[in-house]
Amino acid sequence: MTASSSATRRATILDVARAASVSRQTVSNVVNAPERVAPATLARVQAEIRRLGFRPSRAAQTLKQERAGAWGLELDSSGFGRLGAILDTFLVELTAGASARGSHVVPFTASDPAAPLAAYDRLVASRVVDGFVLTDTRRGDPRPAWLEEHEIPYAAFGRVWDDPSITAWVDVDGAAGVEAAVHHLAAQGYERIGYLGWPEGSPVGDDRRSGWVRATTRLGVHNPHWQATSVQALEQASRAAARLLDDLGRGAALVCASDALALGAWRVLLERGLRPGADVGLVCFDDTDIAQALDLSSLHQPLDRVADRVLHVLGARSASRDPAGGLLLPPELVVRSSSKPAGDRTTPKEK
């Protein structure tokens, strides 16, 4: 069992399901429990199975007989040598949730960047795990298609960006989160609400930014100039925040795509003698140590619910059931002093 290129890939259960206009579950029944399938459907699916040359993979068959009771989780696919605040918490929640279901999580690192699927292949072949939890999903990610092809159960924390027909994922609704932040800031009396985000092109960043556009447009306070972008580094974030705050002026507010960007904005406020909240509103994303340390309002990802849903999808997948489609969970806004204007705040009108 090795990773196939898309040119030579075998027909998958999903291909058969699409061709026969039935669910994945129905194809699975045709293979494993044909007595449950209506004769006309059975005939149609069997015809597509023959036409497409589909055969259930050996690995998938073996797994049904002998379960490891464990799910693999690749660590550090981005190469930073650590998980970071979100995946750290997600791992703890996933571990606790798996334990409550009588299973385990087996973290692993994919040692060979040239063959990113080799480690997945090896772990299933040696029956260390029954399937996988994916994180760091991205455009051009080879993993979902490969796992579908080999009928290995999996569920992703993060949308499968390349293929809308794949629904084995749960994600946090970044756009909805930023929308909620903008509405919160508007309700607190901030009239000019800017956005400090990442450079265009990252699915997560573009998603978050779209929430700012949507909410400010709906409120009739959208100004396309009130936004800036920066990478995560403090110097760049500080410079971008300084320019943006010059445009917005006192009494304004900023939504930041991350805690690192918010740290840049916070530093600029301190250097200018301005008080976060009282003088300039600040809301950031991810509710990390930095947000908590600086008392910044932040969008908190519901990672307990994400982990629970990921394990639910895995359970359904490994029983050859299709869970409901991909699920977007809204983050929760944690309000701290950085978006609570003090009583003596200069109102935007006065400026």
Residues contributing to the site for a copy of itself (CB under 8 A): 69-70, 75-76, 81-85, 88-89, 91-93, 95-96, 99-100, 104-109, 111, 119, 128, 233-234, 260, 263, 267, 270-271, 288-290, 293-295
| Nearest residue (CB) to a copy of itself, 91 versus 180 | 91
- Nearest distance in Å: CB 309, a copy of itself: 17
- Nearest distance in Å: CB 270, a copy of itself: 5
Cα–Cα separations (whole angstroms), residue 54 to 1, 4, 11, 29, 88: 16, 15, 5, 14, 39
| Nearest residue (CB) to a copy of itself, 231 versus 324 | 231
Contact 264/296 with Cβ under 8 angstroms?
A: no
| Nearest residue (CB) to a copy of itself, 69 versus 325 | 69
The DSSP string of 256-324 is ESSHHHHHHHHHHHHHTTPPBTTTBEEEEES--HHHHHTT-EEEEP-HHHHHHHHHHHHHHHHTTPPPP
- Nearest distance in Å: CB 265, a copy of itself: 13
| Nearest residue (CB) to a copy of itself, 167 versus 288 | 288
How far is Cα 268 from Cα 211, in angstroms, rounded to an integer?
Answer: 25
β-bridge partners, 297:
283
The angle formed by the CA atoms of residues 136, 142 and 148, to the nearest 5 degrees, is 105
How far is Cα 134 from Cα 252, in angstroms, rounded to an integer?
Answer: 39
- Nearest distance in Å: CB 201, a copy of itself: 23
How far is Cα 255 from Cα 291, in angstroms, rounded to an integer?
Answer: 13
- Nearest distance in Å: CB 347, a copy of itself: 25
Other CB atoms within 10 Å distance of the CB of residue 232: 14
| Nearest residue (CB) to a copy of itself, 13 versus 68 | 68
| Nearest residue (CB) to a copy of itself, 193 versus 296 | 296
The structure tokens listed for 27 are: 């194809």
- Nearest distance in Å: CB 341, a copy of itself: 20
- Nearest distance in Å: CB 93, a copy of itself: 7
| Nearest residue (CB) to a copy of itself, 16 versus 260 | 260
